Amino acid sequence: MNIPTPHIECDDKTKIAKTVLMPGDPLRAKYIAENFLTDVHLFNKTRGMLGFTGNYKEKKVSVMGSGMGIPSSMIYFTELFDFYGVENIIRIGTAGSMQEDIHLRDIVVALSASSESTINKFTFGEINYSPTPSFELLIKTYEKSKELKLKTHFGAVYSSDQFYSNTPTKVTENMKKYGITCVEMETYGLYTVANRLHKNALGIFTISDSLVSGEKDSAKDRETSYANMMELALEVATK
């Protein structure tokens, strides 16, 4: 595969770490690089999708935005895995709680992802493929979360194709009933790409709003205030 790609301008694979943390928002990637990493360099700014590499506790790690939604993010997941030799992608995003016991600022780790997306329709036909994460990353996250004494929930998530959706009430209630922890927009695509390419992936989220209570964080909070999730992901990335 040739580099640079149409969406990542980096022309040297060694400038991107084998593990990449990926928030949807490129400004959150910038915040993490500036506040958690040392010896930072910018490896991508094409289309405003900022990507940085630096050191966390003397170990190399990269952080890059993915954009919002499955189609956008899958471009970056695929190019990083397939063109740049990345082995692990940890999505660090925000999500809306769908359960009464999952509150604002809690952390959720995705054991599987469900979606109305049709990206896998031509691959699996009538089978509703449900991709899952890397078991190794999952175990590391579970152990590190306990060590850091974080309030972390592990369960299935819903990757919606629409932010402003008119999901029927009965469908939403069924998702809650069947244990869907939260709704976000990219993990179904991440797990699909990782499984296809035999790479490692994990989705970690901070609850930024609740579909149960109606509470929500501000846009600024979503960009800069989720230090527990960021620290957890960085610890897992460099463990």
Q: Which residues form the catalytic set? A: 209
Q: What angle do CA 130, 136, 139 make, to 5 degrees?
A: 95
Which residue spans within 105-175 are E strands per DSSP? 107-114, 152-159
Helix (H, G, I), strand (E, B) or coil at 44: strand
Give every CB contact of residue 24 below 8 A, 6+ residues apart in sequence. 65, 66, 67, 68, 73, 93, 94, 185, 186
Using DSSP's 3-state secondary structure scheme, residue 130 falls into coil
Q: Give the three-state DSSP class for 150.
A: coil
DSSP designation for 15: G
How far is residue 34 from each of residues 63, 92, 219, measured CA to CA in Å?
11, 16, 19
Tokens of residue 203, six digits: 């989705």
Residue with tokens 């930072």: 40
Distance CA 53, CA 148 (A): 25
